[in-house]
Structure 1
Amino acid sequence: MRQPSGRRITALVTGVALVAGLSSACGSGGGDAKKITFWHGYTDVQAETITKLVGEWNGAHPDQKVDPVFSNNDNTLQKTLASFVSGKAPSVAYQYGSSITALTGRHQTQDLTSLVKGDPAVDWNDFFPAARQGATVGDKIYGIPALVDNLGLVYNKKMFDAAGLKYPTPDWTWDDFRNAAKKLSGNNKYGWAYVNDGTEDTVWRFLALLWQAGGDLLDSANKKAAFNSPAGQQAMQLLHDMAVTDKSVYLDTGDQQYLNLFNSGRVGMLWTGPWDLGQINKDVSYGVQYLPGKATHATISGPDYYMLFDKKAQKTAWAFLKWLTSPQVHLRYATQTGDLPLRASEEKLPGYKDYLAKYPGNKVFIDNLSKNVTKARPNIKQYPQISQVLGQAVQAVLLGKKQPQAALADAAKQVDDVLAGS
C-alpha cells in the first residue's frame, strides 16, 4: 500500500496502478495471446526501469510480447470494471490491494491458487507474509504481489538536536513519543504530523496504534466491530491527547503539506513509508526507526497486486509476471526505484548490499516486514465502508469534536450495521 506524496492512499493501499490488457492485434479469438498490452502508471525512474525490463523480456521472448502503455494510476479499478461491461477485459492488471475484494466473485477475475501452488518456481512462501495475506480471500489467491510497503517513524535530526532530545530508539514507548512531540512543538512547529482527511490515510495510522495496544479491528469472524475496546480507547485517547491537549500534531488536510513542513524544519516526526524518503531534501538530516509501541512495535502494510482477467492471455501473462516478480529481477528493479523487496530471498542476493548502500533508510521498513507486520486489514467487501466510518471517527477526535469513547461507540454501531448489511 504505497501511500501519499505522489503515491496515493484514497483508494486504500500503496502503489502504482498498472493495467495490462490484450492488444487489439490479439483480438478475442481462441488460444493463448502472444502479445499483451501492459498499461502502467509509472513515471520518472519507475517508468524508465519498467520500460527497460519489458524490453529485456521482449528480446528474450519474441513469441510472448509485452507492450507497455501508460495509464492513470487511480483509475485502474474503474477501468477494469468498465472493461468487464464492454467485454474487453484486460489480460492482467496491477491493482491497489484494496481493490481485490471488489473484483473477486466476477467471472473475469482469475483464481490463481492452482497456478501459484502448482508451480514450485513461484515459491509463494518466499513473498513476505503481509503480501501473501493481502492476496488471499478466503482460501483462494487472487493476486501476485507487485509492491509492499509499511509505516515507520521518520524523524528530523536537526529538530531533535535543537530540542536537546535523544533520537528515537527501537524501545520507544507511546510516552516517549508523546513527550518528544511536546518538546518539539511551539513557535509554529509541531512534533508530529497526522493526515486527517478522513480517508484510509487517516485510518491505517490508527490501525497501527490499535494493534500496538493489542486490539483488533473486527472479531475473528469479521461479523462485529472489535475496536470499541480498551485497546481502541488507548489508541484514540493518545490521538486526542496529542492533538487536542498538547497541540503537538499538525493535522494535514490531505494536501500532503506535512512533507514540506518536515523539509522546512517545522514538523519533527512523521509516520510514513519509503515512498516519502526520496522527497526529503538532501540537506535534511533524518533517521528512520520502528514505530513507538505499547504492547508491540506493530506496523501496518498495504501491498498491491497483479491480477489476471483474460483466460486466453493467461499463459503469456503468467510467464511474464513470474519473471518480473522473481527475486533477481525484482531486486534489480528495486535498486533502481527504491521500492522494498517483495521476497525474503532478495535479502540474500549479492546485489542486496548495493541496494542497502543506496537506500539505507529502507532497512527499518524491510525489517518491519518480517518482524512487525503481524496483522492485516480484513479482505472483505465491506472494508471501504468500514474505513470511511472509522476515518470520520478518528477525524472527529483529532479535531476535538468528539471524545474518544463516544467516537468509538458511534463508529462501532455503524460498522456493525455495515457488516449486518443494513
Structure 2
Amino acid sequence: MSNVKKSYAAAVAAMLLGTSLAGCSGANSSSGGAGAGGADKPVELTFWDAAWNTNTPAIVKKFEEKYPNIKIKVQQFPDNGMSDKYLLALKQKNGPDLMNMAVDWVTPFAATGGLAALDDHIKKDQVDLNDFYDGAVSVTKVNDKMYALPYRAETHGLIFNKKLFEAAGLDSSKGPENWNQVLDMAQKLTKGDAYGIALPGTNVGNVTTQLFNMIQSNGGSILNKDNTKSALTEPAAMEMVKLYVELFTKYKVVPNSMLQNDGVANRNLFTNDKVGMYMTGIYDLDPIKQANANAQMGVTMVPANKDRKTILGGWAVGIPAASKNQEAAWKFIQFITQPDISAEYSVTFSARKSAASNPKYQDPLVKPLLDALTYAQPLPQIPQWNQIKQIVFDQLQTALGGKATPEEAMNQASKAIDELLANK
C-alpha cells in the first residue's frame, strides 16, 4: 500500500468535484455521555445511507429497541454524486457519525484523514474477522488499519432466458461455461427483435464492472501486480475488450440501443424476452420476477476461460473521525454487521460467512451467486481507481462508436493510466 500512501493528496483533490453540502447535518449536533461510551445519557447519531436501502427503518428500529438511549437519524442519498458528497464532508470534517459506503470508496475516503480507524474497537470487542469473506475485509484496510466493517458482499453471475434458449434449440438447464460458448449461444439466440446478450454501453460503473469481470475471468487484470501500470494491452485483457466491442459491432448480437443502455435498461430488455443473457447480481432477481411473473430464467456463474475470478463488491459502515459519538457509533456498526442483521439489511449477501445458511439464500436461482463469492476478488484499492474507470469507459466508447479499434482504444487508455499512476 506504499503507493497508495504517497498518492493520497493528489488523488483525493482530483476526486473532490465540488459537490454542495447544503443541508447536511454535522456530527457536532449529537449530545450526551453515550458518545463517550456511556449508556446513561441519550445520544442521536446521524447515519448517511443509500437511497435504495428501503429496509433501513426496520433495522434502525431493532437497534433502537436494543439501545433505547441511542437514536439514529437517517439521511439517504441517491447513487449519483453520493461518493463526492461523502468525500467533501470527510475533507471538511463536518460529516455525520456513520457512513454507509461502497467498499471501493474506503481507500480514497481514508486518504482524506477523515475516517476513524476501527482496529481498537475490533480488538476490544473481539470481532471475529475470520467470519467475514477475506476480500471484504481486505478492501476496508489501508496501511494495515481497518476503516470500515463490511456488512454486504456481492459478485456477479449470468442470467439466461430459458424460454429463448429453448426456442433456439439450446439446453435451457444450464448456461454457458466459457466465453466461446457465450458467443456461440448469442448468435443462435439473436432472431428477429431478440438479441443474444445485453451489455451496457453507458454508465461508467455498469460498463467497467462488466468489462473487468470478463477480463478477470479470462485470466487478465486491469493493472500490473504492484498497481503501477496498466495491464489492459496484455493478451488476456485485450481478448475480452475485443469481444466486448465486437459482440456489438461485428457479431451484432447485442441490442442496437447498447450505447444508451445501462444495467436497468438491460434488465428490462431481459424481462420482456428481448435478450437471452446478461450479467448482473442477486439484486436483479426480484425486480425481474415482479415485472414478469412468468419469467423463465436460469442463473449461472460468470463464464470463465481460465481460473474463475470475478469482481468482489459490497458495502461497509465507517465512522468519520470528526464524530463526537464514536463509541455509540461503533455499537451500531457491531449491530448492523451481525450475520442475521446484515443478511436482513443487505439487498445482496451478508459479508459474514456464517450467514450463508440463511434461508433467503437457498433459492436455486440465488445459490450460484452465493457460491460465486468464493471466487470473487477485490479490484485494485488505490485512490486513482475512479479516474481509471473513467479513462477506460471513455476509450471504450470510441471503440463501440467505431472511431477506434479495441487495440487503439486500450493503447490510449493505458497511456493515460500510466501517466496518472506515475504522477504520485
- Note whether the superposition's TM-score is higher than 0.5: yes
Q: Residue in 1 aligned with 2:373?
A: 369
Deviation, 1:397, is: 2.8
Deviation, 1:26, is: 2.1
What amino acid sits opposite 2:365 in the alignment?
A: G
Q: Residue in 2 aligned with 1:77?
A: 83
Deviation, 1:196, is: 1.0
1:401 aligns with 2:403: yes
Q: Residue in 2 aligned with 1:144?
A: 149
Tell me, in whole angstroms, the C-alpha distance in 1 between the residues paired with 2:35 and 2:177. 59
Tell me, in whole angstroms, the C-alpha distance in 1 between the residues paired with 2:35 and 2:244. 57
CA 1:74–1:243 in 2, change beyond 3 Å: closer, same or farther?
Answer: closer
Task: Compare 391-400 and 192-201 and name the one that shifted more.
Answer: 391-400
SS in 2 for 1:279: helix
CA 1:157–1:252 in 2, change beyond 3 Å: closer, same or farther?
Answer: farther
**Counterpart contact for 2:176–2:182, Cα < 8 Å:** no
Number of residues of Structure 1 aligned to a counterpart in Structure 2: 391
Select 1:273's aligned residue among 272, 277, 281: 281
Q: Residue in 1 aligned with 2:44?
A: 35
Tell me, in whole angstroms, the C-alpha distance in 2 between the residues paired with 1:286 and 1:401. 36
Alignment of 1:29-178 (within 5 A): 31=36, 34-43=43-52, 46-47=53-54, 49-84=55-90, 87-120=93-126, 122-167=127-172, 169=174, 172-178=177-183
Task: Compare 129-138 and 376-385 and name the one that shifted more.
Answer: 129-138
**Counterpart contact for 1:152–1:289, Cα < 8 Å:** yes
Select 1:226's aligned residue among 231, 246, 253: 231
Deviation, 1:164, is: 0.7
TM-score normalized by the length of structure 1: 0.84
Deviation, 1:188, is: 2.1
What amino acid sits opposite 1:368 in the alignment?
A: A
Tell me, in whole angstroms, the C-alpha distance in 2 between the residues paired with 1:385 and 1:194. 22
What amino acid sits opposite 1:247 in the alignment?
A: K
CA 1:198–1:325 in 2, change beyond 3 Å: closer, same or farther?
Answer: closer
Tell me, in whole angstroms, the C-alpha distance in 1 between the residues paired with 2:34 and 2:83. 25
Q: Residue in 1 aligned with 2:354?
A: 345
1:258 aligns with 2:266: yes
Deviation, 1:67, is: 2.9
TM-score normalized by the length of structure 2: 0.84
Q: Residue in 1 aligned with 2:327?
A: 315
Q: Residue in 2 aligned with 1:8?
A: none
Tell me, in whole angstroms, the C-alpha distance in 1 between the residues paired with 2:90 and 2:180. 51
SS in 1 for 2:171: coil
Deviation, 1:289, is: 0.3
**Counterpart contact for 1:217–1:225, Cα < 8 Å:** yes
What amino acid sits opposite 2:115 in the alignment?
A: T
**Counterpart contact for 1:396–1:407, Cα < 8 Å:** yes
Deviations 1:140-159 (A, max 9, x none): 22111132221100011100
Deviations 1:88-107 (A, max 9, x none): 32111112233223311333
What amino acid sits opposite 2:281 in the alignment?
A: G
Tell me, in whole angstroms, the C-alpha distance in 2 between the residues paired with 1:300 and 1:30. 37
CA 1:115–1:298 in 2, change beyond 3 Å: closer, same or farther?
Answer: same
Deviations 1:313-367 (A, max 9, x none): 1111111111111112223445xxx53122111124xxx2x3135x442211111
Deviation, 1:294, is: 0.6
Tell me, in whole angstroms, the C-alpha distance in 2 between the residues paired with 1:114 and 1:290. 38
Tell me, in whole angstroms, the C-alpha distance in 2 between the residues paired with 1:118 and 1:30. 17
Tell me, in whole angstroms, the C-alpha distance in 1 between the residues paired with 2:67 and 2:152. 24
Q: Residue in 2 aligned with 1:288?
A: 299
Tell me, in whole angstroms, the C-alpha distance in 2 between the residues paired with 1:22 and 1:72. 21
Deviation, 1:134, is: 1.9
SS in 2 for 1:56: helix
Deviation, 1:27, is: 8.4
Deviations 1:275-294 (A, max 9, x none): 11121122111010011111
Deviation, 1:380, is: 0.7
Q: Residue in 1 aligned with 2:3?
A: none
Deviation, 1:267, is: 0.6
Deviation, 1:170, is: 7.0
Tell me, in whole angstroms, the C-alpha distance in 2 between the residues paired with 1:198 and 1:56. 36
Q: Residue in 1 aligned with 2:12?
A: none
Tell me, in whole angstroms, the C-alpha distance in 1 between the residues paired with 2:351 and 2:77. 23
SS in 2 for 1:312: coil
Structure 2 portions without partners, runs of 5+:
1-14, 16-23
Deviation, 1:210, is: 1.4
1:301 aligns with 2:309: no
What amino acid sits opposite 2:349 in the alignment?
A: L
Structure 1 portions without partners, runs of 5+:
1-10, 12-18
**Counterpart contact for 2:100–2:316, Cα < 8 Å:** yes
SS in 2 for 1:104: helix
SS in 2 for 1:239: helix
**Counterpart contact for 2:93–2:114, Cα < 8 Å:** no
**Counterpart contact for 1:340–1:362, Cα < 8 Å:** no
SS in 1 for 2:287: coil
CA 1:140–1:366 in 2, change beyond 3 Å: closer, same or farther?
Answer: same
**Counterpart contact for 1:168–1:289, Cα < 8 Å:** no
